[in-house]
Structures are given as C-alpha cells and as structure tokens.
Amino acid sequence: GQNIDQPTEMTATEGAIVQINCTYQTSGFNGLFWYQQHAGEAPTFLSYNVLDGLEEKGRFSSFLSRSKGYSYLLLKELQMKDSASYLCAVTLDNTDKLIFGTGTRLQVFP
Amino acid sequence: EAQVTQNPRYLITVTGKKLTVTCSQNMNHEYMSWYRQDPGLGLRQIYYSMNVEVTDKGDVPEGYKVSRKEKRNFPLILESPSPNQTSLYFCASGGAGGGYTFGSGTRLTVV
C-alpha cells in the first residue's frame, strides 16, 4: 500500500519560520510535490523534488531525502496569507499517478 | 491561458438523479485525474487516465464512472448519486515533469 504522513495541524507566528514534515512509504517513487491549498480553493503548486537536497524558491524551500522517505517544506518570514493547508504528494515509478497525504493545516497568528 | 476548467462550481441534487461534472484542459496533457476531498481525509483519487481511451480506478472509484474519448475532456459521471458522495471534487491534469494543474473545484451536495 501507499502511505504518506504529515502532521494534521501546526501553528506559528507572523514573521517566524515553520517546517512541515512529510514521510512516505510507497511502492516505488518518482518525485514529491508540495501544494498549498486555501479553504475551498484548488491546490496550487509550490515545489517539486526528484533528487535529494534542498530546493529554494523565495520564502519557501523544500527538502527531500529519498533514502529516508522524508521531505519537509520550510516557510520563512511567515505572513498571515500563509495560513492554509499544505499538501505533500508523491508520484510513483514511471507513472504520472499523484497520491496525496492528508495535508497539514497551518495557522499563522499575528 | 493554461487552465483546467470544471463545471459546475456548485451543485445540489437529489439521491438517484444522474449527473455529470465536466472537466476540460487546454494544455494537451495526457494525464488527467479526479479527486474528492473530505474533511480529515485529504484528497483521494477516484479515477485517472493516462491517455485517450485509457482509464484506471483510483482509491475510491465506487459509485463513479469516467470516460476519456478525447484528450482535453475527462467527465466524471455519477449514475445514481447518494448522500455519501457529498464532497468537494477536483479535476487535475499534467505530468510530473511539468507539474499538475487543478480545476477550481465542484462542491456537490446530494440530499
């Protein structure tokens, strides 16, 4: 079976840094996505990691360790608008099938 | 503009009345997929399609049908909707290399 785990909820303060972890156990692995989703809206793409290491994109960075089945999303200089759910998703070997974790709801407080 | 278009955005229907949710993409993607999203359960895949005339079941296919007669369209059909199919539905298209694009969602209520 496929298993993708993330914390259910996290809270943080405006201006701070937060790290959202994702662990996965899947039959095969191609790459890992992070999506942001505001309540009732469509998920929007944040990052895609295929190789081990850190990918930085503005205030957001994503890290992948394939050997450990582990990824994290790092959000810096948090803003109120970053309050949203963050979804970890995995694509399997040689397919485009995208499987999601249950998401982490982040609340940013002033 | 590259996009995935879903219709309708909101739908209230009665148990047993057949309905179709349409999904269309203008990016020439081979891969398309349908998800439902329920509180605490995340996005669960209903059906996906790797190409025209190729469809496969996802994790929660019961009560749903799909078709892929042409590359751009991937409608979701509920032949006899039931209240447990009340949910938020998303269509997506794309591929790992280029990322996945989601439609704006369809909030379905079955009474």
Nearest by CB: B99 against A30, A42, A48:
A48
**pLDDT computed for residue B42 by the predictor:** 87
HEC letters along B9-35: CEEEECCCCCEEEEEEECCCCCEEEEE
**pLDDT computed for residue B97 by the predictor:** 63
Interface test with B, best of A4, A33, A98, A104 (most B CBs within 10 A): A98
B50 vs A contacts (CB less than 8 Å): 95-96
**pLDDT computed for residue B96 by the predictor:** 58
Contact flag A45-B103 (C-beta cutoff 8 Å)? no
Q: Which CA distances in Å does A38 have to A86, B8, B49, B55, B63?
A: 9, 20, 26, 29, 28
Distance from CA of A98 to the nearest CA of B (A): 8
CB proximity B44 to A under 8 Å:
yes
Taking the C-alpha atoms of residue A69 and residue A26, their distance in angstroms, rounded to an integer, is: 9
CB proximity B98 to A under 8 Å:
no
Taking the C-alpha atoms of residue A74 and residue A64, their distance in angstroms, rounded to an integer, is: 12
Taking the C-alpha atoms of residue B19 and residue A54, their distance in angstroms, rounded to an integer, is: 45
**pLDDT computed for residue A93 by the predictor:** 75
Contact flag A100-B40 (C-beta cutoff 8 Å)? no
**pLDDT computed for residue A75 by the predictor:** 97
**pLDDT computed for residue A43 by the predictor:** 94
Nearest by CB: B43 against A31, A45, A100:
A100
Task: Check: CB of residue B96 under 8 Å from CB of residue A31.
Answer: yes
**pLDDT computed for residue B1 by the predictor:** 82
pLDDT mean for each 10 residues of chain A (110 residues): 92 97 92 93 93 94 97 98 96 79 96
What would you measure as the largest C-alpha separation in chain A, in angstroms?
44
**pLDDT computed for residue B98 by the predictor:** 61
pLDDT mean for each 10 residues of chain B (111 residues): 93 97 95 93 92 93 97 97 97 79 96 97
**Percent of chain B as helix, strand, coil, to the nearest 5:** 5, 55, 40
Taking the C-alpha atoms of residue B88 and residue B101, their distance in angstroms, rounded to an integer, is: 16
Contact flag B43-A43 (C-beta cutoff 8 Å)? yes
Beta strand spans in chain A (E): 3-5, 9-13, 18-25, 31-37, 44-49, 53-57, 60-65, 70-75, 84-91, 98-100, 104-109
List, as ranges, residues 54-73 from B with C-beta within 8 Å of A: none
Task: Check: CB of residue A75 under 8 Å from CB of residue A17.
Answer: yes
